[in-house]
């Protein structure tokens, strides 16, 4: 099956610092990747859609200057949480769509804790 690798799986940082999370499709090309935030016992909340070679599309209420997304290649998208604050602590998950199929595969998730 298709594999999506997400790193780091856990990160603890101090308030005010920036954290970068990587999402890689290991064995398929992904023109489109998605970033989600998930609170305990809740559904996946789509934050943004990342398209290779173009600017990400952010969902309403998601600050694009706060959550920087870069999709520089067909296999890599990154999410940078800038000037992190404790309220940014959450579980962040990426997914990658196998180009042209609509099939979605998820990364392992990254648990961010901001002290």
Partner 1 sequence: GENVEQHPSTLSVQEGDSAVIKCTYSDSASNYFPWYKQELGKRPQLIIDIRSNVGEKKDQRIAVTLNKTAKHFSLHITETQPEDSAVYFCAASDNYGQNFVFGPGTRLSVLP
Query: With respect to partner 1, which residue has the nearer C-beta, 46 or 82?
Result: 46
Rounded distance between C-alpha atoms, residue 86 and residue 94, angstroms: 21
Q: Which two tokens stand for residue 52?
A: 């290779």
Query: What residue ranges bind partner 1 (CB under 8 A)?
Result: 1, 6, 32, 34, 41-44, 46, 49, 91, 93, 95, 97, 100-109, 111
Q: What's the min distance (Å) between Cβ of 20 and partner 1? A: 19
Taking the complex as a whole, the smallest distance from the CB of residue 5 to partner 1 amounts, in Å, to 11
> How long is the chain?
115
Q: CA-CA distance, 83 to 64, in Å (whole number)?
A: 13
């Amino acid at each position: 099956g298709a594999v999506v690798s997400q790193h780091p799986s856990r990160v603890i940082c101090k308030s005010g610092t920036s954290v970068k999370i990587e999402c890689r499709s290991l064995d398929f090309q992904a023109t489109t990747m998605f970033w989600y935030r998930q609170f305990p016992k809740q559904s996946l909340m789509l934050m943004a859609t990342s398209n290779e070679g173009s600017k990400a599309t952010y969902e309403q209420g998601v600050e694009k200057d706060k959550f920087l997304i870069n999709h520089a290649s067909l296999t890599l998208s990154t999410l940078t949480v800038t000037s992190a604050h404790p309220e940014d602590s959450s579980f962040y998950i990426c997914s990658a769509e196998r180009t042209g199929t609509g099939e979605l595969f998820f990364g392992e998730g990254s648990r961010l804790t901001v002290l």
